[in-house]
Amino acid sequence: MLTLGLFAGASIDLNAQRVPESYVAYRTVGPIEIDGKDDEASWQQASYTDPFIDIEGAKTPKYKTQAKMLWDDDYFYVLAKLEEPHVWGNLKQRDTVIFYNNDFEVFIDPNGDTHNYYELELNALNTVWDLFLTKPYRNGATVLDSWDVQGLKSAISIKGTLNNSTDTDDFWMVELAIPWAVLVEASGVTDPPENRFWRINFSRVNWDFDLNNGRYSRKKDANGMYLPEYNWVWSPQQVINMHEPERWGYVFFASQQVGADIGFAIPKDEHVKWAMYEVYRNILAKPNAPMTDAITVMDKNVPLYRDEHETGWNIWVTSPFSGKKMVIDHEGKYYGE
């Protein structure tokens, strides 16, 4: 159990804060052809994630979505299966706003500090939107929309027919090979994260649709306004916002080949970070409210401090588990010893 007092003299139970999902990605056992299919031995042996859930973590989506992950010395591989009775898309220009179609999205924060992370979106036409964010939108992000994943390989396969309103489809499948040479640029290291974890999440945007002369489009209400999209994710965000990276899932890149079965436990210091970020978000929401002087993590009382300085402020603790000093600055960036 994890609890904390958000404000002086108050305490709330954070059982409502769902533990992020985790997954062990194993090494491939042979070459992977990026064709939007899962017929290689490596994909057949890899396990699917749990089915995606609504972004706030409560509702079961209308259609099932699951993903698999693998890696080798050159690429991080992702495969996703998206059940969908009407596979459609009309956006064909790279780096357009892909989530105006039904899409699949990948979010990657290599070092878990919530800054300098990647977003990648694809629709059923295999149109890609890739971008780099210097920090979350809440902190005044600079979004590098012209940034590209150099060497990205992507493919889509469809069990059904694209943009055909006269039949019922089964699913579409996304397959990606993302080069480590690009991903490590924001990680502070030069090698793939063997036997380490990264913070990663996946999102699926799905729209109700209208048909006009057999053509699909996003559905509008009686006032001509688009109906809101559905947001289905691997690791629930608890808010309708993918850009809180501290809530993303944990992917551990095992040195063993796929077919192995090793355990992965989210480190205890990560539990401390979740509590610290809960305090941080509440400071942003209520900057003039008194701050708690301690958090309770896994039955341990952890003193919490706030330092003011010329350029901003920090909150920090000393981990009761590792003894490390853990810091979050006023822009939400995490620093650990």
Q: Which residue positions in the chain have pLDDT lower than 70? A: 1-17
Q: What is the model's pTM?
A: 0.94
The pLDDT tens digits of the residues spanning 34-67 come to: 999 999 999 999 999 999 999 999 899 999 999 9
Q: What is the per-residue pLDDT for 277?
A: 96
Q: What is the per-residue pLDDT for 217?
A: 95
Residues with Cβ within 8 Å of residue 289, at least 6 apart in sequence = 7, 282, 283
Please name the residue ranges forming H helices in 93-247: 180-183
- Which two structure tokens, joined as six digits, stand for 5? 């007092």
- Which two structure tokens, joined as six digits, stand for 263? 């355990």
Q: What is the per-residue pLDDT for 337?
A: 73
Q: What is the per-residue pLDDT for 17?
A: 58
Q: What is the per-residue pLDDT for 4?
A: 39
Phi, psi for 102 (deg, rounded to 5): -60, 135
Q: Is residue 179 within 8 Å of residue 151, measured between CB atoms? A: yes
The pLDDT tens digits of the residues spanning 102-138 come to: 999 999 999 999 999 999 999 999 999 999 999 999 9
Cα separation of 53 and 82, whole Å? 13
For residue 2, give the H/E element and its range.
strand 2-4
Q: What is the per-residue pLDDT for 188?
A: 83
